[in-house]
Chains A and B, each alone.
Chain A
Amino acid sequence: QVQLQESGPGLVRPSETLSLTCTVSGSSISSDYYWGWMRQSPGKGLEWIGSIYHSGHTYANPSLKSRVTISLDTSKNQFSLRLTSVTATDAAIYYCARDASGAPADYWGQGTLVTVSS
């Protein structure tokens, strides 16, 4: 069974960088899937952030692309998200997930709440 678990700070100060890591078990991130991030906030609903392939190829939501970096650590079977220059609108539950070709994701982490506040 594929399982994903997000980890990282739950509080980020405005203008700083949000960093989250997703640890995957039950599947290798070097397998033939993209691995991605999504977020959900009361004001903006569900939003796809971006995804990465084991080759390192990434693609990201155009609305966030300039601030987003997604990377892999195959030795730890983890992938990570960095979102720079955060503002209050970046406060959300962040989910890591395994991409499915027919849906944004077929396996999801439980989500981690990130608050943006000074």
Chain B
Amino acid sequence: QAGLTQPPSLSKDLRQTATLTCTGNNNDVGSLGAAWLQQHQGHPPKVLMYRNNSRPSGISERFSASRSRNTASLTITGLQPEDEADYYCSAWDRSLNAWVFGGGTKLTVL
């Protein structure tokens, strides 16, 4: 099955800004955008951003998202130790009629 492409890892310093990317195609990211999920070790994923770039209730304003054609981006400002986690993007693939995921980016906060 087709999947989305994410860099496997990213390291940033405390209080800096991290930008994570997610590349798909016209049938998924380019169609309706991508959602972003955060997963800490041993826990289920949690939605950070819906594909319309809105945040669920309770998610910090330090998280924001954008999209340019087939690439979605998640920006985290003022990195905190608790931001160290795996981040996944996901999009609805209209050719498959299925949700597809990226392989995840492991964010390390130094």
Contact = CB atoms under 8 A, between A and B. Distances in A.
Sorting the interface of chain B by its residue count into under 10, 10 to 19, 20 to 34 or 35 or more gives 20 to 34
Nearest to B90: A104
Contacts, number: 60
B103 interface: yes
A46 B54 contact: no
Interface string A87-100: 00000000100001
Contacts of A45: 3, 88, 101-104
B41 interface: no
- Most A C-beta atoms less than 10 A away, residue of B44, B51, B56: B44
Interface stretch (A7-15, A17-25, A57-65, A69-77): A57-65
Interface in B54-103: 54, 56, 88, 90, 96-103
Interface string A41-83: 0000111100000000001111100000000000000000000
B35 A63 contact: no
A94 to B, nearest CB: 11
Contact of B90 (A59, A61, A103, A109): A103
Question: 6 closest Cβ contacts across the A-B interface?
Answer: A102-B50, A103-B35, A48-B99, A108-B44, A46-B101, A104-B99
30 contacts: A45-B3, A45-B104, A46-B88, A46-B101, A46-B104, A48-B90, A48-B98, A48-B100, A59-B97, A59-B98, A61-B98, A62-B96, A62-B97, A62-B98, A103-B35, A103-B47, A103-B90, A104-B35, A104-B37, A104-B99, A104-B101, A105-B45, A106-B47, A106-B56, A108-B44, A108-B45, A108-B46, A109-B44, A110-B44, A111-B44
Interface of A: 45-48, 59-63, 95, 100, 102-106, 108-111
